[in-house]
Amino acid sequence: MKIIIALIAALSVGGVGGWSLGNSQPSAAEQMNNPHNRVPVATDMPLATDFISLRPALDTLPTESLSETELQGLRYMREEEKLARDVYSTLYDQWSLPIFANIAQSEQTHTEAVRDLLEKYQIADPVTDDSIGVFTNPDLQQLYTDLTASGATSVEEALRVGALIEDLDLFDLAQEIKNTNNQDIVLVYQNLMRGSRNHMRSFISQLDARGESYTPQHISQSEFDEIVASDKERGGGQTSRNGNTLGSGGGGRGWGNR
- Mind listing the pLDDT tens digit for each residue in 120-151? 999 999 999 999 999 999 999 999 999 999 99
Predicted local confidence at residue 189, as pLDDT: 97
Q: Is the dihedral of CA 253, 62, 235, 125 positive or negative?
A: positive
Number of domains in the chain: 1
CATH number of the domain where residue 191 is located: 1.20.1260.10
CA-nearest of 191, 227, 221, 232 to 56 is 191
Q: Model pTM? A: 0.78
Q: Other CB atoms closer than 10 Å to residue 197's CB: what's the count?
A: 21
**Helix, strand, or coil (residue 167):** helix
Residue 23 lies in a domain: no
Residue 2 lies in a domain: no
Residue 163 lies in a domain: yes
Separation of alpha carbons 151 and 146, rounded Å: 9
Residue 223 lies in a domain: yes
Predicted local confidence at residue 83, as pLDDT: 98
Check residue 27 and report its DSSP letter: P
CA-nearest of 122, 112, 43, 117 to 84 is 112
Separation of alpha carbons 242 and 49, rounded Å: 21
Residue 96 lies in a domain: yes
**Helix, strand, or coil (residue 245):** strand
Is 95:158 a contact under the CB 8 Å cutoff?
A: yes
Predicted local confidence at residue 58, as pLDDT: 83
Residue 15 lies in a domain: no
Separation of alpha carbons 146 and 135, rounded Å: 14
* Residues with pLDDT less than 70, the chain: 1-53, 235-258
Dihedral angle over CA of 25, 32, 197, 184, nearest 10: 20
Predicted local confidence at residue 50, as pLDDT: 54
Q: Which residues of 126-157 are buried (b: 16+ CB within 10 A; e: fewer)?
A: bbeeeebeebebebbebbbebbbebbeeebbb
Q: Other CB atoms closer than 10 Å to residue 29's CB: what's the count?
A: 8
Separation of alpha carbons 18 and 156, rounded Å: 30
Range of the domain at 118: 48-229
Question: Could you tell me the CA-to-CA distances from 231 to 93, 123, 185, 226 in Å, in that order?
Answer: 29, 36, 26, 10
Residue 256 lies in a domain: no
Give 3-state DSSP helix, strand, coil % of the chain, rounded to 5.
60, 0, 40
Residue 7 lies in a domain: no
Count of residues for the chain?
258
